[in-house]
Amino acid sequence: MITFGRWASSLRFRLLAATLAALALALLLAGVWLSGLFREHVMRQFEAALTLQLDQLTTQLELDASGQPVIDPQQLSDPRWRTPYSGLYWQLDQVSGDGAIRSGVLRSRSLWDTTLPLSADALANGTVHVHEGSGPQGAAVLMLERTVALGEQPGVRWRLIVAAETRQALEAVDRFTGVLSISLLVLGALLALAAVTQVAVGLSPLRGLQHALVQVREGRSARLQGRFPSEVQPLIDDFNGVLDRNAEVVARARTQAGNLAHALKTPLAVLGQAATQALNAGDPANPRDTGPALARLVHEQVDTARRHIDWHLAHARAAAAERLPGLRTPVAPVVLGLVRVMQRVHAERHIDIDASGLPDTLAFAGEEQDLQEMLGNLIDNACKWARHTVVVSASSEAGRLCLRVEDDGPGIDDQARAAVLARGARLDESVPGSGLGLAIVTDLARLYGGDVRLETARLGGLGVALSLPAAD
């Protein structure tokens, strides 16, 4: 289960979080700005229409013969002036020289028996003021006023007022805001989907890189393979260069170890051959003849030296291979090859070595020579102690490779099993060997992060369970 902390630290989360936060902020600001812009536009149009009504009313204002103001309703084009509480109203107030106001000298039929309340303010003749207020029945209205002077009436001015309810205009603004909000939400969802797709497509090479690394780790490839963007390719090239240099270092170390082994094995082979000849040429009937005893000692020490050289070579090879990625060794071919060799080596004992149950899909994440070294020692040891049968089996679970070698020999007591794994330990000197076989297996297995366990075999003898990293 992926924890939130791990998800929050991922590159995908950071990109998506930053992108979605920026999108949300941009859409929110755009929605507020567009809604405000539309409201301002509607109210300007609303005010412009009222200004036209005020101009029409101003042109119809006259004084009769007695000096009283007159406006002919029939000359006003909008029928709403004549409909009670229609939402469009006009009113004429008288402003005396001392500032006293007589409201409703004339008014439209739409006002019925009400007047438009408007506070007194100083207006120059012809100047238009805009007010928001309350009209008939408490409705919100927008009012425009203009003061004019008529005839030869000093100190008397007339204030013309037109007003219209803003409900319909504000409802239009609300409808636009609702549609705009839905549109921006849909746009935000599409942009979020595009952002997710962009992040997924942009980071897909990283998934390819992860797959390539898994291929290297599991031993399916020695280098990072695949096609990557130009921004990632330099990293791939550098990493492959590191793998190549590491492989060169390991190959050089192996070559040097092999040269050292050949340099030592040749003198040892000469000493061993000379000891064998001296052992064969000695006189067993002459107790003073120390040649056979010396030859036997030299022969044993040469064999021990060879085993030590093999052990150190295997140890050095495994130590280098354990740090080398891309290693993969199928198990079945190695085991079957060792079975054929052991059947020839122990042909005089007629041991039945059964390795028929090995799956073909199992593979060891390490060097083939190391697997041969470990299994060779285990199978050889089992053949030495078995009465009739040796069984080799293998299985894989949770990334671990479990190899079992069992025999039907006498087995080993629980108290003695720990001592057997010690380097050079031998429980029975009558059986040939140097006592290094199980120690080599144990050391090699530990270098690969595995282990060796001694158990009681199902055949009744000793069972050795070897745990190693699996390539799959």
CA 182 – CA 174 distance, rounded (Å): 12
Distance CA 396, CA 326 (A): 19
CA distance 253 to 270: 26
pLDDT at 299: 65
- Residue range 236-273, pLDDT digits in tens: 788 888 888 877 777 777 666 666 666 666 666 667 67
- pLDDT over threshold 90, residue 26: yes
- At 288-324, the pLDDT tens digits run 555 566 666 676 677 667 666 766 666 665 555 554 5
Lowest-confidence pick of 90-94, 137-141, 149-153: 149-153
What pLDDT, on the 0 to 100 scale, is given for residue 307?
A: 67
Cβ neighbours for 136, distance < 8 A, ≥ 6 positions apart: 85, 89, 111, 112, 114
Give the separation between CA 10 and CA 19, rounded to whole angstroms: 14
pLDDT digit string (tens) for 66-100? 778 888 877 787 888 888 988 899 998 888 777 67
204-242 pLDDT, tens digit per residue, is 777 777 788 877 776 677 777 777 777 778 887 888 888
Share of residues in the chain with pLDDT > 90 (%): 22
Residues composing the chain: 472
How much is the pLDDT for 100? 75
What pLDDT is recorded for position 4?
58
Burial class from Cβ neighbours inside 10 Å (0-12, 13-18, 19+) for residue 170 reads middle
pLDDT (tens digit, 9 = 90+) per residue, 429-463?
Answer: 444 444 456 777 888 888 888 889 888 888 888 88
Residue 305 CA to residue 440 CA, distance in Å, equals 14
The residue type of 23 is: L
- pLDDT (0 to 100) of residue 320: 55
Mean pLDDT of the chain: 80
